[in-house]
Amino acid sequence: MTKQVRNTAAKTAVMEMLSQSSTALSHGEIYQSLAETCDRVTVYRILDRLIEEGVAHRIALSDGTVKYALCEQCGDGHHHAHSHLHFNCVLCGGVSCLEVEIPHVQLPRKYKMHDVSLVVNGLCAACNS
């Protein structure tokens, strides 16, 4: 039988925070916003579990920074490639998923593509004025 899933206060708080936020959040940002009401490690494990459950996904920015976001538009829970791009605003620092098709890239012969990670840095709509 498959491992059961429990909803705890901490997990609910993390999900709430991610769902309220207009930007993807790092572990540290989440931990601090929780006013440190639960352990650092717990936040890591909750995030791991949310990803495991297909509720959230991990985003690595172009400098290696890791952020987390809910899988809003991604429908049902089954695991799938997130073939949307991630936008990182150089002004406000915000990170958001843009539901833009990633154009096909042609690889050299014999190369096999599994998945793609596309991060665009620039000015978001709010900052570009």
Partner DNA sequence: CATTTATTGCAACATAGTTGCAATAATTTA
Partner DNA sequence: TAAATTATTGCAACTATGTTGCAATAAATG
* Residues in contact with a copy of itself by the rule CB under 8 A: 58, 60-66, 85, 87, 90, 98, 100, 102-125, 128
Place of tokens 């709010």: 126
Separation between Cα atoms, residue 111 and residue 77, nearest integer Å? 30
Nearer to a copy of itself, 2 or 111 (CB): 111
| Shortest distance (Å) from residue 115 CB to a copy of itself | 5
Per-position b or e across 55-84, b if 16+ CB within 10 A of its CB:
bbbebebeeeeebbbbbeebeeeeeeebeb
Nearer to DNA, 46 or 97 (CB): 46
| Shortest distance (Å) from residue 40 CB to a copy of itself | 18
Separation between Cα atoms, residue 127 and residue 107, nearest integer Å? 35
> Does 4 help bind DNA (rule: CB under 7 A)?
yes
Are residues 5 and 77 in contact, defined by beta-carbon separation less than 8 angstroms? no
- Choosing among DNA, a copy of itself, none, which partner's interface includes residue 75 (Cβ < 5 to 8 Å by kind)? none
- Choosing among DNA, a copy of itself, none, which partner's interface includes residue 123 (Cβ < 5 to 8 Å by kind)? a copy of itself
19: Cα within 13 Å, side-chain hemisphere: 10
Q: Interacting stretch for DNA, rule CB under 7 A, among 62-70, 76-84, 92-100, 104-112? A: 62-70
